[in-house]
Structures are given as structure tokens and as C-alpha cells.
Structure 1
Amino acid sequence: MRKIVIDGSNTTGFQRTALVAVGKEDSYIETSYGLVRIKTLCLEEESAFIVESTPSRAKYKLDRLGIPLVEIATEPDIWHPEQAKEAALKLGRLLRATGKVMRGIGTIRQDLNISISKGARQEVKGVQELSMIPEIINREIQRQISLLDIMKELKDRGLSKDAFSGGIVEVTDLLQGISKGFIMKALKRGERAYGALLPSMKGILSREIQPGRRFGTELSDYAKVFGGVGGIIHSDEARSYGLGEEIIGKILERLGGGPNDAFVLVLASRKVAKLALNAVLERARIALESIPAETRKVLPDGNTSFSRPLPGSERMYPETDIPPINSHEIVEKVSQSLPEYPEETISRLINSYKISRELAELLFDNWRFKLFEEIASSYPRISPSFIAATLSSTLTALKREGVPVERLKDQTFKEIFAYVNEGKLAKEAIPEVLTELALDETSSLEEIVSKRYMSIDQLDEIIDTKIKELREEIFARGERAYGLLMGRVMSEVRGRIDGAIVSKRVKKKLREYLSTAQK
């Protein structure tokens, strides 16, 4: 199939999509909220990434244009926000299990199609953080419910589509008295002010539809997309822009409105203002009758903003250059060497190495479970849970601190655990060693370990010194002085020798001292 593309994001004017498979009765994934059927499996080409856009010009990066993407579509079986997250996680794990897909943020993206009763389907594009999926869905549900409430109120106020026909009027002269803020700066640059009346909509534009977003923001999105303006000024929030009651009254009078009406202003050339304000008026008209079906962009907080109207199937047409491909032989060949299912791998890790489900899932999701198995099998004396935690949660914590852990190679981890197994590197030192290696790729692991290594003789000298320093407390407390002595010793040797070894030597030395002192 081909999909018509007219925004410039594909240099050919169309995007190719190959239908690889159609779901059957047994094409589904299981979630704790019910089955989710798989509708189609497609291969499509990536479009160019938009850098910036105005009504007259768009700028794109071509570095990812044409990259093949696997697209998996589900049937409308997902009814709960948490189910959507669970389904996305399971599909991502199935893809990772093949070992044929890239990993990391941005390599797997979810497009969420969200709708409610009496609402409209919204396609939220490019969701990357699985943890955000429930919040995005909940906020979209809130947005549509709020828009339905606004629709009812507008009808109760007696509004009709014909009410938005007052046209676009210049009001530059009415704003000349403003002596500060961006309005003054815009007028000084030579921009003009234009307004449009929104009859009987006073108070509606400041109505919250999502946390931190109001109906006025919806109108502003349309002005930005279709007009290319930076935003709008509306009467519900005009005072925060320095417009006093007198100016607001004069603007309403100029636009032919009254005390129950609202208005929208933009600062731009007449041509741009006309595009922006006509888009605002059209969105206001739509608000009377329905929620428009849209393609929306996800924002960092889980809200969404308007990107473009949701396209229909009319822009799809059959591929004209490439004949259908018989994939039967390919499918048969692939079927002979299918990898383990994700849940099988996770269960095997839990049962074979006695680690928690959380650690097993983390290892699978960061694709280090094979490295884990190799290290755990090579060094059975080291706790598998410790190895798993190092390869998962420890690396996650370091990454949050800004350490570029992606630079660390598998061989580095193997060598580190070899030193731990030999007693030459303390477990507690591993995060510091990993940090040093990641930040300085020229550093030598052997040199780092040699600087940190402490022999038993060196440890015993430190313990003897601490015993002398604490002899009065030790004599008074007896064996109960172990905790005090252990703390003082660890303050000097932590990260240089394994804590279990230190504990054994401290207990031995303490017993020897007490035995001698009692004699």
C-alpha cells in the first residue's frame, strides 16, 4: 500500500507500507485485564523528522527517512489504561526476544488510539516511555469528558455555528497604551494586533480540560499549527497580559461583543493573523457539535497537544510498483528457529538462579540476561542475585546520575566479576569502578583494581590499630564491642576488600584480644 504524504516528510510524496500478516483467532497476547488480539503486522518506511514548521515552510532531517519499521496493530480490546501499558510491554519483549531489533529509547514507539463514548478517536503519536501510558490515557479521557461538558454548556447558552461570523478586526490602536510585556515589544517590532469575537463564551476559554491546560490552549494549538503564530491572547486571561478593564471593554466594543462574550487576539501580519484566527473560529464552531478526531503529540507531563486532523483511509491506495510477495517459505524457515518466549526466559532465570521476578524482568528488558547467565555459571560462589542487581538496578542508578554506562562492554563485566571471585575486588567497590571506567575509556581495569586491592596482612594491621585505639571500650563491652570495632575498620577499608572477609577477621582478632586480656 501507499499512503499519500503532502507535508514534505517523504521526498517521494508517499509512504510505503507492506502488509506482512493479518491476525487470526490465535493471534493475541494475554494481559491481566483480558486478551488483546493482534490485527495486523506491517513493514513501513520511516518518514523524515520535522525540525521546524511554519504555514509557508517546513524543515526536515533526512537521516532516518526510509528506515524500515515493524508496525503491530491491535484490535480495540484494550479497555483499561494499565492494560495498554501491559500490552505494550509484552509486545516490546516479544520483539526484543528475536534479537533482531534495536534497543533503547526511541527504537520502540507506541501510537495510542484513545476514544470514549460520545467522544472521538485521538491518535497520540510516538509515546516512548511505557510508564507514561496510563497517565496519557487518563488525561486524554479527562480532556474528552471536559470537551463534552463544554459542548453541553455552549448549547445551553443558545450558541449556534452562525454565531462565529463576525470576521477578523484590527485592534492595534487599542493596545498602544500598554507599556510593558511582550505585547509592547511586539508592537514596537511593527507587528499588528487582530481580534475575533467568540460570542457567549466568557469563562469557557479558561476552563481546565487537562491539568495545566485549558480550552484556550486548544484554540491556541490550532492557531499555532495553521497560522504559525507563537500563541494567542484571550479575554479570560487578558488581565495577566496587562490588559485593563477599559481596554478589554473597548476591544469587545470594536468586535461587536458584549459583557458575556469572549475574544481572541493574535500579534502578527494580517495574512498570518487571518490564518490563525480563522483556525480558532473553526475550532470554536466544532466545539458546538463534536470532539474533532485528531493526531496529537504527547507532552512531557502526559498531556497532549494538537498536531493535525486525523487522516482517513482515503489517502491509502494500492502499491503500483511492487508485486505481492509469497512469504510462505520465509515463514517456514523462521518457524524452525524461534527463540524462547519472554516469559519462558524470565521463568527460567527465576527457577535456575533463584533470583526475584523483578531482577529477571530487568535483565530481560535490558537484554543482559545472556551476560548474566555466563557470569553466574562461571562464578558460582558469587550470589546470582548480586550479579543480576549489578547488571540491572546498579547500572540504572548510575545512569540516573549521568554516568554513560552504555560505554561499558560485556567483557568489562566479566573481568570485574573475575576479580571479585578471586577476592581482589570488593563487591562494594563495583559501582565506583564502573563509574571510573565509563567516564574515562582510557583507564585500565587492572590498574584500578590494583590500587584498591588490600591484602589480609594489610587488613590485620588496620584491625590491630583500631583495637589499640578502642581498648578501653573493648575491655568494658567484651564481645559486644564487635559492632563498634567493625564500623571503625570499615570506615577505612570499605571498597578495598570484601565486607564478609572483614567481618571474619574482626571477629577473630577481637576474640584473640579478649582472650589475651583476660589472662
Structure 2
Amino acid sequence: MEEFSINNVGVKVGLEIHQQLATNKKLFCNCMPIESDEYSIKFQRKLRASKSELGEFDPAALFESTKSKTIMYYANHESSCLVEQDEEPPHELDEDARKITLIISSALKSNIFSEIYPMRKTVIDGSNTTGFQRTMLISQGGFYNAGDIKIGIQSICLEEDAAKILGEEGSIRKFGLERLGVPLVEIATDPFEVELTEIKKIALSLGRILRSTKQVKRGLGSIRQDVNVSIKDGGGVVIEVKGVQQLDQLEKVVEYEAKRQHGLLKISKKIQESNWNFSKDDKKDITELFSKCKSKIIQNAIKKNQKIIAISFKNMAGMFGFSPYEGIRLGREVAELVRFFGIGGVFHSDELPNYGIEESDLEELKKYSEIKENDAFLILASPQEKINTIVDQIILRIEHIKDHGIPIDTRLATQAGETKFLRPRPGAARMYPETDIPPIIITKEELLEAEKNIPKSWDDSIKGLETKYKINPQLAEQIFDSRYIGLFEKIIEKININPTFVASVLCSSITNLERSGLDSNLLKNEEIMKSFQLLEAGKIAKESIEIVFENIMAGKSKTIEEAMKNASIQSVNKDDLEKIIEEIVEKNEEIIKNQKERAVGPLMGIAMKELRGKASGEIINNLLLKYIKKKIQNLK
């Protein structure tokens, strides 16, 4: 097994940034995009692939249709209407979304078209009730600078966001419609060749340009990075990796995908050397043969009336387990494909005997299927109706790897920074004109207005925050890049409170709680605002804020008041506070005798255990010093 070096394969990367726009309604209706888990409407659909205007099927749509899923939709009247349910034509394009997209295009020096044509992009995975996503090309060309690196812009589109996946149960896939139709700008960069460490900076710089408009949404799920990866010897194949949620993942994803592609080229050469070709006789039903096999996986499949199938591969012994680089194997490629169809997995000859399949089972199989020593084989269990489709797709994939090297896929980023098969790459047949919406004419006045509203640069925005709120550059950068910038400015505007303290709570305290595994989505903006109002009114101490946030983010409370009650936080009046401090000093006379005024340290720890969240640390410290000095005086 070789050590992979990304510097030797000539990697090119392109980014696609999808950013939700901060509008008051959806792109083609008047519904508000309100997140909710309460659904009063429920309906189901079956989506199928249809031909394009030229009579062609899109390969991605055809492939998705092989899964034959029933789609269950959940909605509520607050966030969706008949447009989302595909029972009513789309309304006029949202004016705010149109204006914001023109400003973004102008800020990126992109050439805006005078006529915009809405299109339908075929999507039949269920994330759109219509079976397509509405999208429109706004502009092409342009650039921006990420430090010293100039990044070209390929295209800027305005489109609808997809529905929110709620989960899958067997053949039913569930979606919530609150997010469907939310305006989304998609920015695709030109491909670039840079050091891996620069990719995050390039994505961050583009995100900052978008945030500088102050007209894009913030928070989890409001921005998403897809990344296109290709290598020098890949024959022009570009792999799109979807769903990179964290910028820190980009570097890992690009490195893994480059390694996978280069590894597949090596696997391709190996298969070519084997002279393998598939024939129909290489597929055998071995359900009866394996009826007494001790493998729990096999027995469970037989109990469900599934078929056990073996596929033999002439002269390919060792091929499924061959690993040119760590983690890259033909067996893994096949397993990913099989899981797409809802099948748990596949056994290959290079990992057997194992998983309860014994040597005796393999001997019988080899005899029955005429498998020789130089041959390889796969064993899989599947419902009868899926078997032919799955076997066809496995063979097509291995044939493609043999003949062309890298299959043209759309892949999904994993939490570990790897990629897994999602679907084949869509083709030109995927896109066709939207017949329900007339062309959109962009006037010269609109272009001039967009030019006037190009936002300040990120650097100028940071300097503005530093000056206006008298906060340090690091904190200004953190609060600007966070989802709380709007809330921060509203708090400072309405409440007489130190901006540095507010920014620290919003950036550091909440982030630290998130790192402990708590959910910041449970902490609503109105509750954060309320906590600072209670602080200003003297009903809560500074030290209490993190305690109540922790309580809410842990799911123990929903409101600040409830969290204060659950965490036993209540303000102590001055007289009671003095009495508690005096008692602490009296009980620890020995420490004061030995340490004099230095006793404030250990006594502060004792006091904070009793008074944490009930009084300011500064006030407690001052009172301790006062009573320690008084005690020292009395001891003389």
C-alpha cells in the first residue's frame, strides 16, 4: 500500500456556495419560512422520472427512480401554502430576493443578464413536491480576492431551497415543507489550484462578502458548501461533493476525494490486466444453497423472504480487497452503491470466510457457481423486486471503473471528512424551461440601484464594529462572522450594557457550551435578549447568564424564567448578601488568621459555591475583602 501525496496528482477545486437570503417571504409565494416541528397537514406522493424536451431521461433522475420510494410530506399553514403542495402555480418572484441577488452579483463584479429565464431542474428524491427545483441564472463571470489569491466566478443563480428531510422508514421518505421555496443564491467559482490550507480561506472570504450585505440568513443550515474535485489524469471527470457543513471539513474532503480518484485509476489498470468481462451466467441465485448458512445476516434475509445472490468475476481474485491507498478499495465502492438501494451491505471474496459465512459454505458456492481459484465473487441479499436493478448497477459501475477509471458521481461529505456515493452526476436533460413564470426583465435602473448598494468590504465592516462598539479586532471579527451579529447590535441599541461583555457571551460562552455537546438551536434570540434585559434590571447576575443558557441548551428549560427556576437562580438583596458573606468569614477565622488578606482567594471559592448565579463575582469579592479586613482588625 502506497502513501498518498496530494502534491503529485494535480488537484483542481471549484466551490459552490449556497446561501439562504434574509427575505420576509419565500421565493414564489407569501409564506414566511418559519421553522416548526408541529405539522397540521400531511400528504404523500410518488415521483417518477420524465423525459426532457428532447426526449431524453436524466441519468440521476432515472437512477433515483429505481429506489421506488413513497414520499410523505408534513406542513403547517404558517410556513407553507398550496404552492409548496404543488396545487397552485407559483406567484410572482419575490422582489427582495431579486434585489439582494443583484447586489451580490454587483459586489462580485459579475455580468448580470438583461433577461432572466426561470428553469426547472429535475429533482425526484422527494425534496421538491413538484419533482423539480426552480432556478434562474442571474449572472456569469466576475471575481473576488481571498488575500493574495484572485478567484473567478463562473455563475450566480437564484433558486428555491429544498424541503427538510425528516427521516426514512422502509420505503417511505419523510420531508417537512417549512424550508421548501426559501430564496437561495448559488455561487459557483471557477476551478482553482491552490495549497489545501488555502481552500478554507477562499470559502470564508466568499462567505464574508455575502454576510457584508447584511441581507443573508445566519445560523446552522443557512449556508452550505459543495465542492467540485478533479485530478490531472482523471480524463476531465469532475466529482461534485455535496453537503460540506463546516469549513474545517473542506481540506479533508478534497484530500480524501483526490486520493479516492487516484486510487480508482490504479484499480482500473488492475481490472484491465485481468481481462474480466461479465456474462449473465455469472449471476446465480444461492438462496437454497445458503439456507443452512450460520451467518445471522444471511438467515435474517431469508426470514424476510429475500433472495441471496452470488456474482462471480473471472480472473479477479484479490481485486475487491486491493487497496492502492488506505481506505480505497473496489469492495468499498460496491458497498456504497448497494447501500443506496437500502441494502445493508455486500460480502466479497477477499473478506471471506467471515461474518458467520464458513469455509464449507464457500466450498459449496465455488462448486455450484464454478468459481476457480483466480476468480472473485460477491454475495448480497435483497428483496426479489430489487435484485436485477442492483446487480445491473454493480456491473455497470465495475465496467465503468475498468474502462474509464473514475465514475461520474455526485457524492456526499461525511462527518469524518470522507465522501460516499449519493447518485450519478446529472446531465443536460435535467434542465428545462419553467412554463408558469414569464421571463424577468432587469432594467438599467435596477442595475444602478444594485451598484449603489454594494456593501462595505469585510475589513471595513470589522473596523466599523471596532470603532462603533469599542471592542477589540478579534472580538469584532468573531461577532461579525457569527450568526448573532444582528442580535448583538439590537441588544446594544436597546440595553445599556458593555458591548465587549455581550460579544463575549454570544461568541465564547455559547460556543463553549456547544463544544460540550449542547444544542444552541434550542436557545432562541428572544430568550438571549431577555437575559440581558434581566441583567440590566438587576434581576440576574452576569455569572448567571451562562448557567441559564446551559439549562436551555441542554433541553431542560425553554425560557429564561424557567431556566432560572430550574437552576435555583434568584437575585439576593444587598442585606442578605452581606449576611451570607459575614457568616462565611466567621466560619473561616483560622484561614484569615494564617493568610490575612490573601484569604480572599480560598473564601471566594467557598462563596461562589453558595452564591454562583445569585450575585456578581465582583460584588462578592469586594464584600469579602471588606469583612476580612474587619475580622483582621478585630483579631488584633
TM normalised by structure 1 equals 0.84
Q: State the Cα distance separating 1:390 from its structure 2 match.
A: 1.0
Show the counterpart of 1:183: 298
**3-state DSSP class of the match of 2:288?**
helix
1:266 to 380, 386, 398: 380
Distance 1:139 1:31, change over 3 A: same
Q: Which residue of 2 aligns with 1:295?
A: 410
Partners of 1:449 and 1:170 in 2: CA distance? 63
Is the partner of 2:352 in helix, strand or coil? helix
Q: Is 1:330 aligned to 2:481, yes or no? A: no
The aligned residue for residue 362 of structure 2 is: 248
Q: Tell me if the contact between 1:164 and 1:197 (Cα under 8 Å) persists in the aligned partners.
A: no
Correspondence for 2:464: 348
- 1:61/1:327 Cα in 2 relative to 1: closer, same or farther (>3 Å)? farther
For 2:342 and 2:502, the matched residues in 1 are separated by: 54
Counterpart in 1 of 2:63?
none
Offset, 1:425: 3.5
1:122 aligns with 2:239: yes
Q: Distance in 1 between matches of 2:271 and 2:188?
A: 37
In the alignment, the residues of structure 2 paired with residue 368 and residue 67 of structure 1 have an alpha-carbon distance, to the nearest angstrom, of 20
Cα drift, residue 46 of structure 1: 4.1
Give, in angstroms, the shift of residue 167 of structure 1: 3.2
Deviation track 1:269-328 (CA, whole Å, cap 9, x = no partner) reads: 555322212221222222223111111122332222222221233544556663352243
What is the SS of the residue equivalent to 1:466?
helix
Q: How does 1:210-229 map to 2 (within 5 A)?
A: 214-225=329-340, 229=343
Is the CA contact (8 Å cut-off) linking 1:266 and 1:277 kept in structure 2?
no
Secondary structure at 2:614 match in 1:
coil
What residue number does 1:477 align with?
595
Rg (Cα) greater in structure: 1
Q: Offset of 1:76 from its aligned partner?
A: 0.6
Tell me which moved more, 143-152 or 247-256: 247-256
* Count of equivalent residues: 506
Q: Distance in 1 between matches of 2:279 and 2:474?
A: 57
Amino acid across the alignment from 1:5: T
Q: Mark the runs of 5 or more structure 1 residues left unpaired by the alignment.
A: none
Structure 2: unaligned runs, 5 residues or longer: 1-116
RMSD over aligned CA atoms reads 3.5
Please give the alpha-carbon distance, in whole angstroms, between the structure 2 residues aligned to 1:374 and 1:214.
54
User: How many Å separate the matches in 1 of 2:297 and 2:447?
Assistant: 62
Q: Which amino acid aligns with 1:130?
A: L
Secondary structure at the counterpart of residue 319 of structure 2: coil
One-letter identity of the residue aligned with 1:268: S
Matches within 5 A, 1:438-453: 439-441=557-559, 443=561, 452-453=570-571
Counterpart residue type for residue 289 of structure 2: L
Aligned to 1:96: 211
Q: Give the match for residue 192 of structure 1.
A: 307
Q: Is the 1:52–1:59 contact (alpha carbons within 8 Å) kept by the matching residues of 2?
A: yes
d(CA) in 1 for partners of 2:582, 2:559: 39
Q: Percent identity?
A: 32
What CA distance in whole angstroms lies between the structure 1 residues aligned with 2:423 and 2:442? 37
Change (3 A) 1:201 1:463: same
User: How many Å separate the matches in 1 of 2:199 and 2:269?
Assistant: 30
In structure 2, the CA distance between the partners of 1:59 and 1:461, relative to structure 1 (3 Å rule), is: closer
CA shift, 1:264, in A, is 0.9
Pick closer, same or farther for the CA change 1:81–1:467 going to 2, 3 Å: same
Q: Is the 8 A contact 2:400 2:406 kept in 1?
A: yes
One-letter code of the match for 1:292? P
Checking the alignment, whether the CA contact within 8 Å between 2:411 and 2:423 is kept in structure 1 is: yes
Equivalent residue for 1:282?
A: 396
What is the aligned partner in structure 2 of residue 148 from structure 1?
Answer: 265
State the AA in 2 paired with 1:480: R
| Partners of 1:429 and 1:495 within 8 A in 2 | yes
1: CA distance, partners of 2:284 / 2:452: 71
Pick from 485, 504, 518 the counterpart of residue 401 of structure 1: 518
Supply the distance in 1 between the matched residues of 2:311 and 2:569 (Cα, whole angstroms).
73
Letter in 2 for 1:138: E
CA contact (8 A) 1:32 1:83 kept: no
Q: Tell me the distance in 2 between the aligned counterparts of 1:374 and 1:13.
A: 41
Distance 2:609 2:163 in 1: 56
- Structure 2 CA distance for aligned equivalents of residues 106 and 209 of structure 1: 36
Question: Contact between 2:285 and 2:308, CA under 8 Å: does it hold in 1?
Answer: yes
Q: Mean alpha-carbon deviation: is it higher for 325-334 or for 346-355?
A: 346-355
| SS of the residue 2:389 aligns to | helix
TM-score (norm 2): 0.70
CA distance in 1, matches of 2:144, 2:289: 62
28-37 or 132-141, larger mean C-alpha shift? 28-37
Q: Which residue of 1 aligns with 2:289?
A: 174
Q: Is the 8 A contact 1:33 1:83 kept in 2?
A: no
- More relative contact order, 1 or 2 (CA 8 Å, 6+ apart): 2
> Distance between the aligned counterparts of 1:14 and 1:448, measured in 2?
48
Q: CA deviation at 1:72?
A: 0.9
CA distance in 2, matches of 1:255, 1:388: 69
Letter in 1 for 2:334: L
Alignment of 1:372-383 (within 5 A): 372-373=488-489, 375-376=491-492, 383=498
Amino acid at match of 1:234: H
